[in-house]
């Protein structure tokens, strides 16, 4: 099945085509009507906006913003907003496509959506970021809503940004509207457990799967590419459980220690000062160089080196396309759990599969974030809030149930976990799409 992308950016068109190509194998294992296939080929709605912002020096800059709602058959669109220099319509559409299947896989009453603004947020002051965030909502307010399309944090956006966005939407609508945004500060209707949800969901998947592979805390080594919010929290959970985390990295480089790293110590050096995630990181200059994890005192390695380490478990938790046909043949890990979105290309998938390396896909492994976002949305609508323990229990139940179902499909059909995940999601999407009527319903 080929999905349609804007044609002005060949590199991102490749990303979108790569995303849709993952469905080809799954389509051999599902019964999907032509009507459903036709609807999934195109996004339901795409919006491009310009956002004029008065900068602190009095100048005016105009930023480009996007929001794509790929499918809302199963419920309102759901997806994050990222601030990054590489954001473009093609990338946002690809991510909305992935979100469609992620929400179906986790059986959440949402469709897939995504948004973003093209900029380097580190170049803006906090006041400028607030004006930009509120301007983005001014531009897309008629396109979103608690029953239409719900926003969430993503790359270089956080709870503070989500609070600004929710507040601006409420001002426009002249009523409190906490359900339009998830990932908000607790004081503004956020959910307990949301800040570690992606990591905890991944941990739930791993601790359900690894024992099936005879991988237990005492005999399992782990390398994590990406020491941001999700990667750092997941490293902490695994370290606390007794897994040997031997390597971590951030955008500037990484560290490796065969005996295992002191994750709490690294997080202490890496931790941001409160409210400064979008600005300069808080660092201890005598120990911590250039705001990276590369000078803690262990062996210094590059991001590329980390991917090739001889470990039991590799966790890409950074950006897209980190493992491609160019380096897939050098991967030595036995198992890969994708915490980032799209860290492995489809060509690399074929190579890894041929070498017997098991890959557990992003649409399952990193779905803890959108699952707790769903919990937050439910709490906002009900006006009743759960404890952190309740959120954790509900998340574990949901993640384990869908992991077990996907594993069962993979075993029954002798297919990869990625293909099984898409089969599971397509079955749910197809059922919802066909419930609106198919060609057969009109033939008499």
- Residue 377 DSSP SS3: helix
Pairing of strands 253-256, 244-250: antiparallel
pTM above 0.85, yes or no: yes
User: Residue 98, Cβ neighbours under 10 Å: how many?
Assistant: 22
Q: What is the pLDDT of residue 281?
A: 46
Residue with tokens 């606390």: 240
Annotated catalytic residues are 114
Q: Could you give the residue ranges of the DSSP H alpha helices within 356-387?
A: 362-365, 368-382
Q: Rounded to whole angstroms, how far apart are CA atoms 115 and 83? A: 9
Q: Where in the chain is the domain with CATH 3.40.50.10860?
A: 43-180
Q: Rounded to whole angstroms, how far apart are CA atoms 226 and 223? A: 10
Q: Where in the chain is the domain with CATH 3.40.50.720?
A: 197-365
Q: What is the pLDDT of residue 299?
A: 86
DSSP line for 117-135: EES-GGGS-HHHHHHHHHH
List the beta bridge partners of residue 112: 71, 78
16 to each of 47, 107, 114, 364, 389, how far by Cα in Å?
17, 23, 14, 19, 38
Q: Contact at 8 Å (CB) between 38 and 23?
A: no
* Architecture of the domain made up of 197-365: 3-Layer(aba) Sandwich (3.40)
Q: What is the pLDDT of residue 253?
A: 84
Q: What is the pLDDT of residue 16?
A: 58
Q: What is the pLDDT of residue 61?
A: 98
The sheet that has 111-118: what strands, in order across it? 45-54, 60-71, 111-118, 77-84, 149-153
Q: What is the pLDDT of residue 169?
A: 98
Describe the crossing of helices 417-434 and 89-105 by its angle, rounded to 10 degrees. 90
User: Residue 304, Cβ neighbours under 10 Å: how many?
Assistant: 13
Whether CATH 3.40.120.10 fits 43-180: no
H or E stretch covering 222: strand 221-225
Q: What is the pLDDT of residue 19?
A: 64
Q: What is the mean pLDDT for each group of 10 consecutive residues in the chain (444 residues)?
A: 47 55 83 84 94 98 98 95 94 91 96 97 96 98 97 92 98 97 96 94 98 94 92 96 94 88 85 44 34 61 93 93 94 96 91 96 95 97 96 98 97 95 94 81 68
């Amino acid at each position: 099945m080929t999905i349609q992308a804007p044609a002005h950016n060949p590199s991102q068109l490749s990303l979108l085509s790569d995303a849709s190509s993952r469905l080809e194998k799954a389509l051999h294992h599902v019964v999907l009507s032509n009507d459903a296939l036709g609807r999934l080929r195109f996004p339901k709605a795409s919006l491009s906006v310009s956002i004029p912002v008065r900068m602190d020096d009095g100048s005016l800059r105009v930023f480009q913003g996007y929001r794509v709602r790929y499918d809302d058959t199963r419920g309102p669109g759901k997806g994050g907003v990222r601030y990054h220099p590489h954001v473009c319509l093609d990338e946002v559409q690809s991510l909305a496509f992935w979100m469609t299947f992620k929400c179906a896989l986790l059986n959440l009453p949402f469709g897939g959506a995504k948004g973003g603004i093209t900029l380097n947020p580190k170049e803006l002051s906090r006041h400028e970021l607030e004006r930009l965030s509120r301007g983005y909502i001014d531009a897309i307010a008629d396109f979103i809503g608690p029953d239409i399309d719900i926003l969430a944090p993503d790359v270089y956006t956080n709870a503070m940004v989500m609070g600004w966005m929710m507040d601006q939407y409420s001002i426009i609508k002249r009523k409190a509207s906490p359900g339009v945004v998830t990932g908000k500060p607790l004081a503004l209707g956020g959910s307990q457990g949301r800040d570690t949800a992606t990591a905890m969901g991944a941990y739930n998947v791993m601790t359900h799967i690894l024992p099936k592979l005879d991988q237990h805390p005492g005999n399992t080594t782990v390398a994590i590419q990406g020491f941001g919010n999700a990667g750092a929290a997941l490293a902490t959970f695994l370290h606390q459980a007794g897994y040997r985390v031997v390597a971590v990295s951030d955008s500037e480089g990484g560290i490796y220690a065969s005996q295992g790293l002191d994750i709490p110590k690294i997080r202490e050096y890496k931790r941001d000062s409160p409210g400064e995630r979008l600005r300069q990181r808080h660092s201890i200059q005598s120990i911590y160089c250039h705001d990276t994890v590369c000078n803690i005192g262990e062996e210094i390695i590059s991001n590329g080196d980390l991917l090739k380490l001889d470990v039991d478990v590799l966790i890409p938790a950074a950006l897209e396309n980190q493992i491609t046909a160019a380096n897939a043949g050098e991967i030595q890990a036995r198992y890969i759990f994708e915490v980032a979105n799209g860290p492995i290309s489809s060509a690399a998938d074929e190579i890894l599969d041929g070498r017997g390396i098991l890959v557990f896909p992003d649409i399952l492994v990193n779905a803890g974030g959108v699952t707790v976002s769903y919990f937050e949305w439910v709490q906002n609508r009900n006006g009743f809030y759960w404890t952190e323990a309740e959120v954790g229990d509900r998340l574990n139940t949901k993640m384990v149930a869908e992991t077990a179902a996907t594993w069962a499909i993979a075993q029954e059909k002798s297919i990869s976990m990625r293909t099984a995940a898409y089969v599971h999601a397509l079955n749910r999407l197809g059922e919802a799409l066909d419930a609106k009527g198919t060609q057969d319903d009109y033939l008499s």
